[in-house]
Amino acid sequence: MKKLKNKILADFVIVGSGNIALRHLENLYKKKPKSVIIIVKRSDSKLNPKFKKYSTLVTSEIDKIEPISKKSSAFICSPATMHINDSITLAKSKFNLFIEKPLSLNTRNIKKLISIKNKYMLDIMVGYNLRFSDAFKKMNIILSKNKLGALKHVHIYVGSCYKLWRKNINYKDSVTHRNDLGGGVINELSHEIDMMTAMFGLPQSLASINFKSGSYKTSIDDTASSMFLYENKKMCVTLHQNITTIHISRYSIFEFDKGTVKLDLISNKILINSSGTEKIVDFKSDMNDSYVKELSYFLKNLGKNSISHNLENSIHIINIMNSMKKNISSLKAINYD
């Protein structure tokens, strides 16, 4: 570890000590084993021993860390409510930034972050790893070739159980369980919103019903069903998100004039049905491969000002999420006599 006038010098900084922080640390260590990696931990939770195994130092003093080079980068894996403040602190120290999804829960101080980014010519990327999955890339190719006719409807479903996400802590102590830290179904499962905007752009309008299923004693919404209208494309996207189901699923069904395509991100397969025949495209990569490819893309493009996963689209995603959270509170049951 290098220090200079009470400053800590680092090649990489990882802010946070949860599962996603550990995933980035392990992948980063495999690619850059000789790098100086500093972990910023501020919570009182027990630290997984792997953090000390793969890093140079664990500290709570984020404001004392300085970059070793122009490619030095910080991975922001703190709760979503802290993303922008942590990013501003490290951007002022001239670190490039990899910010885990979502960018934030609102647009407060994002203009300030962009100003610092432009001043120091920093690279900033928001971590939506599903864009780097082989199945997602193949689906984009299918869409671009337009062999199945006009796309009419897309149904996206993502279901999981947040109680089982973090085996080392009680789910009641997790970020997901707390609104004040950015928990809840829409914030936690924003990958599908990013995928939708990556494929089709921004919707013209949306409607959403969000509720608490009662599965766990919590104040967060754990289920959401939404519809996004793309009037310019004459199609719509429906999205169902659930974080309390024991049946883990992550798929999208694309309905074309001449067939259907199912993108399954759990089995990592694409099923194409057209003219009475079915074709299965099977990918051998697993979910962590998408994180590795995401990391490789970030590291490769540092200093080139060419990182395409920009702040602008992530700001749009924040606005979409907040619109979804407003809910349709005026719906009433209809009685049929």
CATH superfamily placement of domain 134-284: Dihydrodipicolinate Reductase; domain 2 (3.30.360.10)
Over residues 36-53, the pLDDT tens digits come to 999 999 988 889 999 999
Ranges for all domains in the chain classified under CATH 3.30.360.10: 134-284
Q: Tens digit of pLDDT for each residue in 197-222?
A: 999 999 999 999 998 877 777 788 89
Residue 70's pLDDT is 95
Per-residue pLDDT for 35 more than 80? Answer: yes
- Look up tokens 């992550």; give the residue: 250
Entry pTM: 0.92
> What does residue 245 show for φ and ψ, rounded to 5 degrees?
-100, 140
Residues of the chain with CATH 3.40.50.720: 2-128
CB atoms within 10 A of CB 276: 6
Q: In whole angstroms, give the CA distance from residue 154 to residue 292.
A: 28
pLDDT of residue 15: 98
pLDDT score for 168: 73
> pLDDT-based confidence at 1, cuts 50/70/90?
low
pLDDT score for 276: 87
Residue 41 half-sphere exposure toward CB, CA atoms < 13 A: 20
pLDDT computed for residue 327 by the predictor? 72
Mean pLDDT of 283-304: 93
Give the confidence band of 329 by pLDDT, cuts at 50, 70, 90.
low
Distance separating alpha carbons of residues 241 and 160, to the nearest angstrom: 9
When the candidates are 3.40.50.1390, 3.20.20.10, 3.90.1150.10, 3.40.50.720, the CATH number that belongs to 2-128 is 3.40.50.720
